[in-house]
Amino acid sequence: MESAIDTHLKCPRTLSRRVHDDYQPPFPMFAGRADASLTQVVMAYLGVQFREEQRAAAINAMQQMVRSFSLHNGPANHDVTFHTDNQGFGNFIVVGYWRDPAAYCRWLHQPEVADWWSSDDRLHEGLGYFREIIAPRAEQFETLYAFKEDLPGVGAVMDNLSGEIQEHGYWGSVRDRIPASQTDWLQPDGELRILSGNPAVGGRVVVQGHDNITLIRSGQDWMEADEQERTLYFTEMLPPLQAGMDFLRDEGQALGCYSNRFVRNVDIDGNLLDVAYDIGFWRSLDRLERWAESHPTHLRIFTTFFRVVTGLQKLRLYHEVSVSDARFQTFEYINCHPCTGMLRDAVR
């Protein structure tokens, strides 16, 4: 049994774990592994927001973003998603992962990328755009997989996979898997603040984040699942999951959830794939933990997962959780409605 925290990220604890050293988890789970050369990753969420009559233009814009990833210094892994938000707008999000922040910066400042984003054309196309980018250090994120091959998300830019890990299956295990939690409570510092622009007016708006904003990506992949597991997902797992995600989207503000998007993966033409995940930004890990441990919407998700997980063969479940420093966060919006992402909760 291994620790979720890799050897080179361990340090003497000043804060205790939530379980005893003899704890035995109820089923096997695994964590991504990277060698000491990985010191920081970049997670970039690049969005196109549109009304249905603008779908064709939005697909073209999404495809432009995907093409930009093929430029020099592009991400090592990416995927594309779609969702309809609670204001009735469609949203494509192109998600890229870099294991080298310097390569990301070189990619970002290429004229094909920088000039496209800064062009006044973006203001007059009838589309909304956003980029929400965080760059957690290696000690600021964790991963958890119920499978061993073809890791999605940040796992794809890591080197390997652990053996069975100990820190899962109990409340507080996410925190115990984040190396920084050995010595840091990971408390938030500050508020979301509007640096420029006005969300009510539109145009370009920049939001300043704060230390220890927490991002969770929690996914389900049923592409290879047989009919029995697909039925299990759609009839037993998805209903409580959808209810919980909708609750956080619509009512999560009071709990400290800045933004929650339950998205479906799509191909380059916008066609739905049999993969979905949640993108949740929270004020702090503590706020996420409180919802997970005590709110009925998550308890229904959690108990359903525990009931079915040991019988899963092809249905792939995973998540990644990170915290990040304010100086490594970017939240920028162009002509997005004022409930988009961090705009809703940002103050002047």
Residue 92 to residue 266: CA distance in whole angstroms: 9
User: How far is CA 71 from each of CA 64, 75, 112, 135, 184, rounded to the nearest angstrom?
Assistant: 11, 9, 9, 20, 38
Q: Which residues contact 164 (CB under 8 A, 6 or more apart)?
A: 1, 2, 25, 28, 29, 30
- Which residue carries 């009512």 as its tokens? 251
Residue 295 annotated as catalytic: no
Catalytic residue among 78, 295, 319, 337: 319
Tell me how crowded residue 112 is: count the other CB atoms within 10 A of its CB. 12
**Where is 218: in which H helix or E strand?**
strand 213-221
- First-to-last alpha carbon distance for the chain, in angstroms, is 49
E strand or H helix at 89: none
**Half-sphere exposure of residue 105: CA atoms within 13 angstroms, side-chain side:** 7
Active site residues: 319
